[in-house]
Homo-oligomer: A and B are copies of this chain.
Amino acid sequence: MSDTALELRSLIKKSGELELSLAKVALPEPGSDHVLVKVEATPINPSDLGLLLGPADMATAKTTGSGAATVVTAKVPAGALPFLAARLDQPMPVGNEGAGTVIKAGDSDAAKALKGKTVSMIGGAMYAQYRLVKASDCQALPAGTTAAEGASWFVNPLTALGMTETMKREGHKALIHTAAASNLGQMLNKICLKDAIALVNIVRSAEQAKLLKGIGAKHVVDSSAASFLDDLTQALVDTGATIAFDAIGGGKLASQILTAMELALNKTAKTYSRYGSSVHKQIYIYGGLNTGPTELGRNYGMAWGVGGWLLTPFLQKIGRPDQTRLRERVVAELKTTFASHYTKTISLAEALDLKNIALYNKRATGEKFLINPNKG
């Protein structure tokens, strides 16, 4: 083992240039509560691309060097620079989550217990050959589970579980998900089928509806169908869903969902309220596939809310014991409910190959890359 290792860096310069490179860093010694992990698998999630490529125009991308000396450059539109003030001229490490083998451990009990184990990790900077990480940011994987199987253990699984947990904590009995054919949406379907939670899937095409029905989804509504609002209202009468998680954000969809909820509630209401149904209807926007404004028609009484939803504040709110319960469920079901599928496994240098960047930057449904930073 060398005393230095490679770590991917994304730099946006004040001059308006993105530069991706592999830095050589010294291997650190773990402190008492830390472990040093040889990273063997780390996925490229949509949430990683924002930090990795930023708003750079990848059509202008060029490469110099090769292997560990590869450097990618691309132009960043001048208009985007003011929004990036806090990261300009600072090389940023990338990669939210990953998995690998603990090769050194500090002297705390929690750290020592992980020595030699295959672990999943969270905390950023995973696109690196070695990662120094707090023991509490690791989860030991069950025997027989590989690093590749444990790499995508956090972002998608805990977001999907965060949705059903939020539903329960806020007193709803069923939920709605938009852009439901996504990797995350399919995972949410598996959770809901297993936990007997009614889930209304909103998709944007007949093909996506077919895909979800193929994995057992019971309530699938196609927003491209002429009967969309009627279909959605009927699904809400059938399920009683009064909370939605929306990846679209812009346009009228959030408002249409609130309207359908109100219509469904009024169909079963026994007394009139001049302010609409008194049942609280909630939309959480967690993505922005449509970056336009959200248009709320407000024809659904006064008992409604729309707001942003993010995994990290949710986890802070529920506290460590419940976080641990969710993490343990994920690792126990990594080969079933929370299984991820990758189209390609690449090295750090290959992550800087322009052909690969063009593929993983498409963010196509069903297309997902895994990096093995120690791939030979």
Contacts and interface: CB of A to CB of B under 8 A. Distances in A.
A304 B308 contact: yes
Given A293-B296, A294-B298, A86 B269 contact: yes
B298 A309 contact: no
Contacts of A274: 50-51, 87
A266 interface: yes
Given A83-B266, A269-B86, A274-B50, A298 B293 contact: yes
A299 interface: yes
Among A266, A275, A308, find the residue whose CB has the most chain B CB atoms closer than 10 A. Answer: A308
Nearest to A50: B274
A273 B83 CA distance: 10
Interface in A18-66: 50-51
A183 interface: no
Contact of A313 (B278, B305, B313): B278
A301 interface: yes
A78 to B, nearest CB: 14
Contacts of A355: none
A298 B50 contact: no
A67 interface: no
Given A86-B270, A296-B296, A310 B302 contact: yes
Contacts of A270: 86
B310 A303 contact: yes
A50 B296 contact: no
A267 interface: yes
Contacts of A288: 298
Nearest to A252: B293
B294 A295 contact: yes
A193 to B, nearest CB: 28
A85 B266 contact: yes
A297 B293 contact: yes
Contacts of A299: 83
A86 B275 contact: no
A271 interface: yes
Interface in A81-100: 82-87, 90, 92
Contacts of A275: 50, 308, 310, 312
Given A83-B276, A295-B294, A309 B302 contact: yes
B309 A86 contact: no
A222 interface: no
Contacts of A262: 83
B298 A296 contact: no
A308 B313 contact: no
Contact of A86 (B87, B272, B312): B272
Interface string A261-292: 01100110111111110100000011010010
Contacts of A110: none
A123 interface: no
A273 B86 contact: yes
Interface of A: 50-51, 82-87, 90, 92, 249-250, 255, 262-263, 266-267, 269-276, 278, 285-286, 288, 291, 293-299, 301-310, 312-313
Given A86-B269, A294-B296, 7 more contacts: A86-B273, A92-B272, A255-B293, A275-B308, A293-B295, A302-B310, A303-B308
18 contacts: A83-B276, A85-B266, A85-B272, A86-B271, A86-B272, A87-B272, A87-B274, A275-B308, A293-B297, A294-B298, A295-B295, A296-B306, A298-B308, A302-B308, A302-B313, A306-B306, A306-B307, A307-B307
